[in-house]
């Protein structure tokens, strides 16, 4: 079909993903060939609706009854007349009557096949439709009318069942898109009105009543409620929302009345981005799929040539040398069976249907996977590296103690530290600002710099200040014995120490504590049971704090006082030692390490543009619960892919061997293609089911 579409004027490139039911085209905007593409696709017996246009759009020609229900007509008509022909044969009716019934069955059963075969021939391609048509006409030509009709009936029925099975995997994404209501109730001009979503602008106030779904991403400005965010984050328990909390489009308001300020348009909502990225991931090709595609490109023409040789050479050899090899009719029958077996439909569909099902399952569990490649890589992961702050810990640290070193009050020094950290987005910076509260002095910081892993610097009140880790303070000669003693006391208590330096003198040590995530120990334990050989925590924190957290969580090892470059180096060492490595972080501060790993996994990605765009895999919830499930899903996906591939190839070669020796029949060949296709689809769809880890 891609070749057919690429011949349409204005189309530059077309890529069909059969499993996800999407056709991606690159075209000239000035030409806008979408309507012509729809016609070209429908000429092959398929339907097509542009994703950005409703099905009833005037730009899209209406499909006739025959176009819409051709598959059903082919299957029903084919079976009725095939059954009639078989009944006439059993009743010893005149052969011409049974032949007529079988011919009508072939006519109905071939409604789709012939049309698609002609399109393939025009494109100079040998596909299943061409091979099936040749086989059926060949069977009829040698007088096997009943078998010819049975082949078309089984092929049409199998195709119908395949389409219905695949529709189930595709429906989940459409259902996700339908979660957003078509209109929003907004406050405009002092009145509450309902408008279409595309008419709402950022900054307007939307009203969400109990039992309604949130129409757009927004921030609560009035009211409180519990919202079901399962479609976005996979969280089954409703999440309490209050003033200042973010709402995701598509989430269900369960209890209270909410007023919220719109923060994104309908096209840019978190749900819309998830839908787009899932569709994009489903359209991507995994390594195993590319391998199968390359194999299929050689397999089909080889079998077709072999079938032609089987039909001609043995009877000619028999005639030439007087050997009892059998006549042309017998060998043509064997060749026709081989033609039907020649198309690798089951093999081609075996991988993409598994990938689509797995990506859909992951999205339901609150895990956004950017492509089948990462599912296959997840099955090979033998080491997982974790960031500490915000990953293994809650990421909302609090200031536990301020030790003044220069006689100034702790409150005043904390206020200066807050002035410096006010420009930083790091969780520890937020903790310092929050702890200072009303103690933050007025004025601004000049020459401010924020270097990841080194801290913040700036000039305030005529004094040059630096707030950073003890390692940075020691490296620059600012860590006095008194300051070192204060740092040690904080680290012995399991706290992160920050050193406040003013005019090259240590002025204070600030101890910051962070809570370990409740689910972290269980998640790390499950990874070990899933075959992950090594878990490690990478942190810029001190050894004492890192050791305390690592011990509580249960990781195998830890590396402390790492700058971003050090984390990247650690990932490279892990890859050399263990092979495939996954890195779990926040998607922003750990960007280099995430990029260096085989799979970069960002936590709490819902609502985070950066995490959604940069991570290979995004855990939409702000917890680690879904991580072991994703690793397990990768293993299940690879297992099912190989089950499908091996089963498809094995059945093909068995039937090919039986065809050569004259045992296989045409209906057996149809089963080896269409029947096996249906079986591998159903096997791949098992990934849609949730499985406990």
In a domain, 273, yes or no: no
pLDDT band at 405 (very low <50, low <70, confident <90, very high): very high
The reported pLDDT for the residue numbered 570 is 94
Whole-number average pLDDT of the chain: 82
In a domain, 588, yes or no: yes
The reported pLDDT for the residue numbered 577 is 95
260 and 284 co-located in one domain: no
The reported pLDDT for the residue numbered 583 is 94
Which residues pair with residue 14 across a beta bridge? 25
With 0-12 / 13-18 / 19 or more C-beta atoms within 10 angstroms meaning exposed / middle / buried, residue 282 is buried
In a domain, 414, yes or no: yes
Pairing, β 218-222 against β 258-262? antiparallel
256 and 295 co-located in one domain: no
124 and 91 co-located in one domain: yes
The reported pLDDT for the residue numbered 54 is 45
Q: Among 69-83, 243-257, 609-623, name the one with the lowest average pLDDT.
A: 69-83
Percentage of the chain exceeding pLDDT 70: 85
**Calpha distance 360→357 (Å, rounded):** 5
Region 328-344 average pLDDT: 82
CATH number at residue 373: 3.40.50.1000
pLDDT band at 58 (very low <50, low <70, confident <90, very high): very low
- Listed in sequence order, the DSSP H helices in 43-187 are 65-68, 70-90, 95-109, 111-122, 128-141, 145-177
Q: Among 433-442, 443-452, 472-481, 601-610, name the one with the lowest average pLDDT.
A: 601-610
Last residue within a domain, chosen from 180, 196, 212 = 180
Q: How far is CA 13 from CA 6, 24, 351, in A?
A: 6, 8, 23
b/e per residue 138-170 (b: at least 16 CB within 10 A): bbbeeebbbbbbbbbbbbbbbbbbbeebbeebb
553 and 604 co-located in one domain: yes
In a domain, 271, yes or no: no
CATH number at residue 205: 2.70.150.10
In a domain, 571, yes or no: yes
Q: How many CA atoms lie within 13 A of 237 on its CB side?
A: 3
Which residues pair with residue 381 across a beta bridge? 580
pLDDT band at 599 (very low <50, low <70, confident <90, very high): very high
**Calpha distance 690→339 (Å, rounded):** 39
The reported pLDDT for the residue numbered 300 is 74
Contacts of 51 (CB under 8 A, 6+ apart): 22
In a domain, 64, yes or no: no
The reported pLDDT for the residue numbered 383 is 97
- The torsion region of residue 21 among left (phi > 0), alpha (psi -120 to 50) and beta comes to left
With 0-12 / 13-18 / 19 or more C-beta atoms within 10 angstroms meaning exposed / middle / buried, residue 116 is buried
94 and 166 co-located in one domain: yes
CA 160-280-62 angle, to 5 degrees, is 50
Pairing, β 617-619 against β 599-603? parallel
pLDDT band at 60 (very low <50, low <70, confident <90, very high): very low
Percentage of the chain exceeding pLDDT 90: 26
Catalytic residue set: 387
402 and 508 co-located in one domain: yes
431 and 569 co-located in one domain: no
Distance of CA 507 to the CA centre of its chain: 50
Contact 98, 145 (CB under 8 A): yes
**Calpha distance 387→539 (Å, rounded):** 6
476 and 433 co-located in one domain: yes
Residues of the domain holding 12: 2-58
620 and 668 co-located in one domain: no
Q: Hey, what are 635's tokens?
A: 């293993």
**Calpha distance 325→44 (Å, rounded):** 41
376 and 358 co-located in one domain: no
**Calpha distance 270→263 (Å, rounded):** 11
For residue range 264-306, list pLDDT tens digits in order: 988 888 888 777 777 676 666 667 767 776 776 777 788 888 8
| DSSP code per residue over 172-204 | HHHHHHTTS-SEEEEEETTEEEEEEGGG--TT-
For residue range 514-568, list pLDDT tens digits in order: 888 989 999 999 999 999 999 999 988 878 888 888 999 999 999 998 888 888 8
Phi, psi for 608 (deg, rounded to 5) = -105, 105
The reported pLDDT for the residue numbered 294 is 75
Strand order across the 239-241 sheet? 239-241, 225-228, 252-253
Q: Hey, what are 163's tokens?
A: 């389409």
Last residue within a domain, chosen from 220, 242, 265 = 265
* Counted domains in the chain: 6
In a domain, 329, yes or no: yes
Last residue within a domain, chosen from 180, 214, 235 = 180
523 and 622 co-located in one domain: yes
pLDDT band at 198 (very low <50, low <70, confident <90, very high): confident
In a domain, 48, yes or no: yes
Torsion of CA 485, 489, 491, 495, to 10 degrees: -130
- In 3-state terms, what secondary structure has residue 509? strand
pLDDT band at 693 (very low <50, low <70, confident <90, very high): low
pLDDT above 90 for 618: no
The reported pLDDT for the residue numbered 175 is 66
For residue range 473-499, list pLDDT tens digits in order: 998 899 999 999 999 988 887 788 999
Region 229-252 average pLDDT: 85
For residue range 108-162, list pLDDT tens digits in order: 777 777 777 887 777 777 777 777 788 788 878 877 787 777 777 777 666 666 6
Region 439-462 average pLDDT: 83
CATH number at residue 9: 3.30.70
224 and 170 co-located in one domain: no
The angle that helices 70-90 and 145-177 make with each other, rounded to 10 degrees, is 150
Region 177-206 average pLDDT: 89
pTM: 0.70
Pairing, β 381-387 against β 22-27? unpaired
The reported pLDDT for the residue numbered 69 is 58
Q: Hey, what are 129's tokens?
A: 């439709």
The angle that helices 676-684 and 345-364 make with each other, rounded to 10 degrees, is 20
**Calpha distance 536→562 (Å, rounded):** 13
- Listed in sequence order, the DSSP H helices in 589-664 are 591-596, 609-614, 626-660
């Amino acid at each position: 079909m891609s070749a057919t579409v690429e011949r349409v004027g204005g189309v530059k490139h077309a890529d069909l993903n059969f499993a996800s039911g999407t056709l991606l085209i690159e075209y000239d905007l000035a030409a806008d060939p979408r309507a012509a593409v729809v016609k070209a696709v429908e000429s092959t017996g398929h339907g097509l609706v542009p994703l950005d246009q409703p099905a009833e759009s005037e730009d899209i020609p209406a499909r006739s009854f025959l176009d819409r229900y051709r598959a059903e007509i082919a299957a029903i008509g084919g079976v009725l007349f095939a059954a009639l022909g078989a009944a006439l044969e059993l009743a010893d009716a005149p052969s011409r009557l049974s032949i007529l019934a079988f011919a009508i069955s072939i006519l109905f059963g071939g409604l789709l096949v012939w049309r698609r075969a002609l399109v393939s021939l025009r494109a100079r391609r040998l596909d299943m439709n061409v091979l099936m048509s040749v086989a059926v006409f060949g069977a009829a030509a040698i007088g096997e009318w009943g078998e010819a009709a049975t082949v078309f009936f089984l092929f049409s029925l199998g195709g119908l069942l395949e389409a219905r099975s695949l529709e189930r995997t595709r429906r989940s994404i459409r259902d996700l898109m339908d979660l957003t209501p078509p209109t929003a109730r907004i406050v405009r001009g002092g009145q509450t009105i309902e408008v279409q979503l595309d008419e709402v602008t950022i900054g307007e106030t939307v009203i969400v009543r109990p039992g309604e779904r949130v129409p757009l991403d927004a921030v609560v400005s009035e009211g409180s409620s519990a919202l079901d965010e399962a479609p976005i984050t996979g969280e089954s328990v409703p999440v309490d929302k209050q003033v200042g909390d973010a709402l995701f489009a598509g989430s269900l308001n369960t209890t209270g009345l909410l007023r919220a300020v719109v923060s994104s348009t309908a096209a840019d909502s978190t749900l819309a981005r998830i839908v787009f990225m899932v569709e994009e991931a489903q359209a991507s090709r995994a390594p195993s799929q590319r391998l199968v595609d390359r194999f299929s490109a050689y397999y089909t023409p080889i079998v077709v040539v072999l079938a032609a040789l089987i039909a001609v050479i043995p009877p000619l050899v028999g005639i030439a040398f007087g050997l009892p090899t059998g006549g042309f009719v017998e060998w043509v029958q064997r060749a026709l069976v081989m033609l039907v077996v020649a198309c690798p439909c089951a093999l081609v569909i075996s991988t993409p249907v598994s990938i689509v099902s797995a990506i859909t399952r992951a999205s339901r569990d609150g895990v956004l996977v950017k492509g089948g490649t990462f599912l296959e890589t997840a099955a090979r992961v033998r080491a997982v590296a974790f960031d500490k702050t915000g990953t293994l810990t809650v990421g909302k640290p609090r200031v536990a103690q301020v030790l003044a070193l220069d006689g100034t009050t702790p409150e005043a020094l904390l206020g200066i530290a807050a002035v410096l950290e006010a420009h930083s987005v790091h969780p520890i910076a937020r903790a310092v600002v929050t702890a200072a509260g009303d103690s933050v002095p007025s004025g601004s910081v000049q020459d401010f710099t924020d270097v990841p892993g080194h801290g913040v610097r700036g000039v305030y009140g005529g004094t040059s200040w630096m707030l950073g880790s003890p390692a940075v303070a020691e490296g620059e000669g600012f860590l006095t014995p008194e300051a070192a003693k204060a740092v040690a006391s904080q680290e012995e208590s399991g706290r992160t120490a920050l050193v406040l330096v003013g005019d090259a003198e240590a002025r204070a040590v600030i101890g910051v504590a962070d809570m370990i995530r409740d689910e972290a120990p269980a998640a790390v334990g499950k990874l070990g049971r899933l075959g992950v050989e090594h878990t490690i925590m990478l942190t810029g924190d001190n050894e004492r704090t890192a050791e305390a957290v690592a011990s509580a969580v249960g990781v195998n090892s830890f590396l402390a006082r790492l700058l971003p470059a050090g984390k990247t180096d650690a990932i490279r060492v892990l890859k050399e030692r263990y092979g495939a490595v996954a890195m779990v972080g926040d998607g922003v501060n750990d960007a280099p390490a995430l990029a260096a790993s085989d799979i970069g996994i960002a936590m709490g990605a819902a609502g985070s543009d950066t995490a959604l765009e940069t991570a290979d895999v995004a855990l939409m919830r702000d917890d680690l619960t879904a991580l072991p499930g994703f690793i397990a899903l990768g293993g299940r996906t690879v297992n099912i892919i190989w089950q499908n591939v091996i089963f498809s190839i094995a059945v093909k070669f068995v039937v090919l061997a039986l065809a050569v020796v004259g045992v296989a029949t045409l209906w057996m060949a149809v089963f080896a293609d269409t029947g096996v296709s249906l079986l591998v689809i159903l096997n791949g769809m098992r990934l849609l089911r949730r499985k406990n880890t």
